[in-house]
Structure 1
Amino acid sequence: MKKRIPAIVLAIFCLLMNTCLAMSKESKADLDNELAQMVGDTGTKVPGLGVIAFKDGKEVYSSFQGSAIIDSQNPQKNRPFTRESRFRAASVSKMFTVFTIMQLAEQGKLNLDDDVSKYLGFTLRNPNYPNTPITVRMLASHQSSLRDGKIYSIPPQLGLQEFFRKDGKFYEDGAHFAPAGQEPGKFFAYSNLNYGLLGTIIEKVTGERFDQYQKSHILKQLDIKA
């Protein structure tokens, strides 16, 4: 069975920080070896990885290890992980979403401490905290008191209220709200749903589809083709 495996983007900040400040041949070899321990059947058990470190705007280290494609039935189709291999963006997209939010905040088109209800077109409150507004900042920092539940991605023809109304198709008996004791703005819990809401807010504020805005206002300037 052919299997195209997305390699994982590894943010090895602590590991790279000290090593890259004084990158000797020995330290490069040590870092190569530490990364190698993450590939395959050991460590984090990723099939492949790519790491590039920059200092003062210049590339000071790179390493590409393991496999980008593993085909157990046709090994001749196997491919190593290289500088040209592509990653699935996955939650790295959250970082770019925040780039856009901050860009719009700088332009005065939204305020990080605005009640998100202002942009969504309906009042969004955690029923356990009905008097506490949920803000843009809370969504971005995973302190909104919203939770993924079993389902947090729905067809585009359905509205977001399907998550939050008691008669909503994806209400899940309130699973998208944190329980009492986890107040908005005071409790951190990672939730993908936060970023679906931020994407919707970006579309509301800009009048552009989220992916098209990203291409024209963020990715193009960074010379990223995505």
Structure 2
Amino acid sequence: MLAFDTEKTATISIQGLSNRTTGRALMPDDPVRIASISKFFVGLAVMRLVDRNQLQLDQDVSAYLGWTLRHPDYPDNPITLRLLLSHQSGLRDGINYALPMDSVLESALQDPAAWDQNHPPGGYFAYANLNFPVIAAIMEAVTGTRFDQIMQAEIFTPLQLDACFNWTLCSDPKITAAVTLYRANGEVARDDLRGVREPCPLVPAQDGSCDINRYQLGKTGSIFSPQGGLRISARDLSRTGQILLKNDGKFLSKAALATMTRPAWQYDGTNGDSEKGYFCAYGLAVHILAIPGRPAACRDDPFGDNQTRFGHSGEAYALKSGFWINPQSRRGTVFYRTAVPENDLLGHCIYFCE
């Protein structure tokens, strides 16, 4: 675990190996697949594009995609970036959100299983990874650039982070330092690189091929795993948090950060799936903890101090992680753990669950 404020980062606790075969000790600069904290970084990139008026949060995204995105049961309701980023679009993970390279998002979303048949877009929250391939496709369609390259240009280069999505643009030293994700029984779950780049770091085509030249910008959106494929070190997460705590308007306008971290949805007891009280407020790709006035059913104060924090959690491939910023104390926390047992607390309730 790393703790940070605006000036320094402190290593509170770090233990274990980045790879059991090589015996390499885990270090705070080692990159790891950080799971859904990736969504927070996608949100930052979207807000950078909003700052430059390349994207509008309340525009019907069909205008960006070049085809009409609609909930099949509610065809008169436009779907916007604000709804996609805040999990209020009506999309659900009823289909595979890791679409193959040669899939067409427009066709995949014709499947009724991709949609919440009980709620129209807007107003109702239900956490769904599928929102983020759509967001990535929008970013590609507007910029004419691959998603991984957008993230490099908008986030990693300006913040001086050696990070990447699905290993495509990380440096050779980071490949060497990759954290292998293990299951509790010792089996490799993901990223057993040992200094060698994966032959296909993307979601391959349906026939198993991996020719990036076949990829069509803005048509699929999923091959770099925008919902969870960020590889980043704990140190680089803390550096990002420090920039956001300083909030000097250089990386992202103060207005954009305020919009991103302000609740776009708040739980009132009936207007969303809170996952047993864990989700009670959500911004634009930002989970907000312990917001004042939340219902008594909310159990979203894992730090136990009733102070509001923003950030995100992550859970995938036997890893659980957290990236939390406290604007009141001007401090933050980064942590992750691997080899989480299969019978560990499920869902997004990393700190507690029933």
TM-score normalised by L of structure 2: 0.44
- Aligned residues, how many? 163
* Match 1:62 to one of 12, 26, 43: 12
How many Å apart are 1:85 and its aligned residue? 2.7
Provide the residue aligned with 1:177 in structure 2: 115
Q: Structure 1 residues 67 and 217, CA, compared in 2 at 3 Å: closer, same or farther?
A: same
Partners of 1:209 and 1:56 in 2: CA distance? 32
The CA deviation at 1:158 is: 2.1
- Partner residue of 1:138? 83
Aligned to 1:213: 150
Task: Return the alpha-carbon distance in structure 1 between the equivalents of residues 31 and 98 of structure 2.
Answer: 24
Alignment deviations for residues 163-219 of structure 1 (CA, whole Å, 9 cap, x no partner): 222xxxxx2xx1101012x22111111111111011111111111111111112210
In structure 1, give the amino acid aligned to 2:31.
Answer: R
Q: Determine what percentage of the aligned residue pairs are the same residue.
A: 41
Map 1:40-79 → 2, pairs under 5 A? 51-71=1-21, 77-79=22-24
Q: TM-score, normalised by structure 1?
A: 0.67
Quote how far apart the aligned CAs of 1:147 are: 1.0
Partner of 1:121: 66
Aligned match of 2:134 in 197, 204, 211?
197
1:144-163 paired onto structure 2 within 5 Å: 144-163=89-108
Q: Which structure is richer in relative contact order (CA contacts within 8 A, separation 6 or more)?
A: 2
- Name the aligned partner's letter for residue 148 of structure 2: D
Report the CA distance between 1:133 and its aligned residue: 0.8
User: Which of 186, 208, 212 matches 2:123?
Assistant: 186
Aligned-partner SS, 1:68: strand
Question: Which range moves more in the overlay, 195-204 or 122-131?
Answer: 122-131
* Equivalent position to 1:224, from 118, 139, 161: 161
In 2, Cα distance between the equivalents of 1:184 and 1:221? Answer: 34
Moved segments of 4+, more than 4 Å:
none
Note the C-alpha offset of 1:221: 1.0
Secondary structure of the corresponding residue to residue 213 of structure 1: helix
- Candidates 32, 36, 54, aligned match of 1:109: 54
Question: Which secondary structure state, in structure 1, belongs to the residue aligned with residue 139 of structure 2?
Answer: helix
| Residue identity matched to 1:186 | G
SS at match of 2:35: coil
Give the match's secondary structure for 1:99: helix
- Once the two structures are TM-superposed, the CA of residue 157 in structure 1 deviates from its matched residue by 2.2
The match for 2:28 is: 83
Q: Which has the higher helix share?
A: 1
Which amino acid letter does the alignment assign opposite residue 158 of structure 1? S
State whether residues 48 and 154 of structure 2, in contact with CA within 8 Å, keep that contact through their aligned partners in structure 1: no
Distance in 2, Cα, partners of 1:163 & 1:85: 36
User: Residues 13-58 of structure 1: CA distance to partner in whole angstroms, max 9, x if unpaired?
Assistant: xxxxxxxxxxxxxxxxxxxxxxxxxxxxxxxxxxxxxx21111332
Quick one: distance in 2 between partners of 1:135 and 1:193? 14
Query: Unpaired segments of 5 or more residues in structure 2?
Result: 164-354
Root mean square deviation, CA, Å: 1.7
Shift of 1:114: 0.8
